[in-house]
Amino acid sequence: MEKHKTKADNSDMLWKFEAGIVAAGAIALSTFLTVVLLRQAESGPQPVSHFIQSDFDVFDRGFKVGSETCDVGLASYKICMHRSPLEKEIQRGEILPAYIPALGAEFRVIVATSLKDEHLRMVRYGQTLVLLEPESRRVEAVLDLTAPDFVSAQNGRPQPKV
């Protein structure tokens, strides 16, 4: 006895076909989104472990805050940076002396500069920015903001390029 296909059999087969199309579409969409998100993550700002030219350039020089002339700072936020006696004692590659506190730089200074590796802390001493490894207190990078140019600002020693 031959079994005849009924409407129920046809609709069951049609449902399986439609489910297959939906599954294939979902796989294609998830693959596309994965690729797009990976490319977007790669093209975003990458953290660095040193200072770059834009870190030096973001600071204003020779401006006034009220009646005071500032050698260096952030004019738009009225942040004027003054010399500190501690600046002379900080050298790249050396351990920060225990008597020098490792307090983070001002929020506005951190936001204005490029993204740094999360294992480093940016510290400001007077008119100098320092990247410090907080556990060992090792000075990874130094940037003198009063220097005439970026190369001089790095204690005269070239640092890696981005």
Q: What is the per-residue pLDDT across 50-88, written as a single tens digit (0 to 9) for each?
A: 899 999 999 999 999 999 999 999 999 999 999 999 998
Domain assignment present for 16: yes
Examine residue 73 and state whether it is found in any structural domain, yes or no: no
What range defines the domain where residue 27 resides? 1-44
Q: Which two tokens stand for residue 49?
A: 């472990």
**What is the model's pTM?**
0.68
- 136 and 88, same structural domain? yes
DSSP H helices, 105-160, are 107-112, 150-153
Domain count, the chain: 2
Please report whether residue 24 resides in a domain: yes
Separation between Cα atoms, residue 28 and residue 44, nearest integer Å? 25
Q: What number of CA atoms fall less than 13 Å from residue 119's CA on the CB side?
A: 8
pLDDT tens across 124-141, in order? 999 999 999 999 999 999
Residue 72 falls within a domain, yes or no? no
Give the strands of the sheet with 68-74, arranged side by side. Answer: 60-65, 68-74, 79-81
